[in-house]
Amino acid sequence: MLTALAIAVDGLGFAAWLFLSSVGLTLIYGVMRILNIAHGGFYALGAYSSAWAIGLYTQTGSTIALTYLIIPVAALVAGVVAGLLIERGILRFMYGRDEVLMVLVTYAIFLILEDVTKLIWGTESYVAYQPAYWLGTIDVFGIPYTVYKFMIIGIALALGLILFIVLNKTRIGKLLLVVIEDREVSSALGINVTLFFTVTFVIGATLGALGGALTAPEISVSPGIGAEIIVMAFAVIVIGGMGSIGGAMIGALIVGLARAASVHIYPPAELFSIYLVMAAVLAVKPYGLFAMAEGRKI
């Protein structure tokens, strides 16, 4: 019973982190049909910006409580600046090209962002543990967990609910669904598709940076974290169905619980548990559990 509880709590914590880190990726693909490998670079930018800003702030000796404001601000600045520069400076010239070419372009951008983080912050690790431990810990049947972990779970649930409401219950969301369905008809109806693309990409980049910023207090921020997250994020959105926000949440939950189960029951399986789950799902549902239906033009 204790093991099952530990698997559930650890799995939910890991799933929340995965959802926060991958939801921007699936949003960009759902609207723009871009398999954005550069998403890992946005995650790294958010993590470095957050850890660096927290480190500077804590050196002043001020209250740790304000670091919870620094985290989203750092993610917002990193995501908006990087997202705008990349979308307006590079990607807008590539719209309508082959999807494989877009993958190569975003991969090149990812490599550039990896070098940018090294140029700005160097190659040393950044540790910003203060926000994660300032809230203290809570015992769940004798197992201690940081309150910060449960806060991330709450943020992930709230973000999922906000995205659902915006996409399904608002006028902007309805227009976005029209753009997703048919870009040409949307343009003919007077919808500014270019603006929707820019805003969507910036929001996706900011969500990726937010995932990194929220994770920074729990890890050692070092070169290579962007490559690690992009692999797991792709696994999540492939399992859930590329372009589906709800699918990303379910995919993150499946992957999180699978990883937690392997850690507690058979640790050697942790390295490939995610890929086993992905292979099993794709064997039954080749396009993911909640893949968006696509119409064919005749």
- Residue range 138-170, pLDDT digits in tens: 877 777 888 888 999 999 999 999 988 888 888
Mean pLDDT of 251-256: 89
DSSP run (H or E) holding 137: strand 137-140
What pLDDT score does 209 carry?
94
Confidence of residue 117 (pLDDT cuts 50, 70, 90): very high
Q: Which long-range contacts (CB under 8 A, 24 or more apart) does 140-145 make?
A: 140/5, 140/9, 141/2, 141/5, 142/2, 143/2, 143/5, 143/6, 143/9, 145/9, 145/13
Residue 114 has pLDDT above 60, yes or no: yes
In angstroms, the CA 95 to CA 48 distance is 30
Q: What is the dihedral of CA 78, 82, 84, 86, to 10 degrees?
A: -170
The percent of residues above 90 in pLDDT, for the chain, comes to 30
Residue 50 has pLDDT above 90, yes or no: yes
Confidence of residue 292 (pLDDT cuts 50, 70, 90): low
Residue 260 has pLDDT above 80, yes or no: yes
In angstroms, the CA 25 to CA 83 distance is 12
Looking at residue 34, its amino acid is: I
What pLDDT score does 110 carry?
94
Looking at residue 174, its amino acid is: K
Q: Looking at the DSSP assignment, which residues form a beta bridge with residue 127?
A: 220
Residue 104 has pLDDT above 80, yes or no: yes
Mean pLDDT of 257-279: 84
Q: Angle at CA 212, nearest 5°, toward 32 and 3?
A: 110
In angstroms, the CA 33 to CA 208 distance is 17
In angstroms, the CA 184 to CA 102 distance is 20
Residue 263 has pLDDT above 80, yes or no: yes
Q: What is the pTM of this model?
A: 0.90
Lowest mean pLDDT among 87-96, 121-130, 153-162, 183-192: 183-192
Confidence of residue 7 (pLDDT cuts 50, 70, 90): confident
Mean pLDDT of 218-241: 87
Tokens linked to 166: 């915006």
Per-residue exposure over 109-124, b if at least 16 CB sit within 10 Å of its own CB, e if not: bbeebbebbeeebeee
Q: Looking at the DSSP assignment, which residues form a beta bridge with residue 143?
A: 140
90, 105 contact by CB (below 8 A): yes
Highest mean pLDDT pick, 68-72, 170-174, 279-283, 286-290: 68-72
In angstroms, the CA 87 to CA 66 distance is 32
Query: Rg of the chain over CA atoms, in angstroms?
Result: 19
Instruction: State the DSSP code for 224.
Output: T
Q: Looking at the DSSP assignment, which residues form a beta bridge with residue 144?
A: 139
Looking at residue 223, its amino acid is: P
Residue tagged 């709800």 (tokens):
246
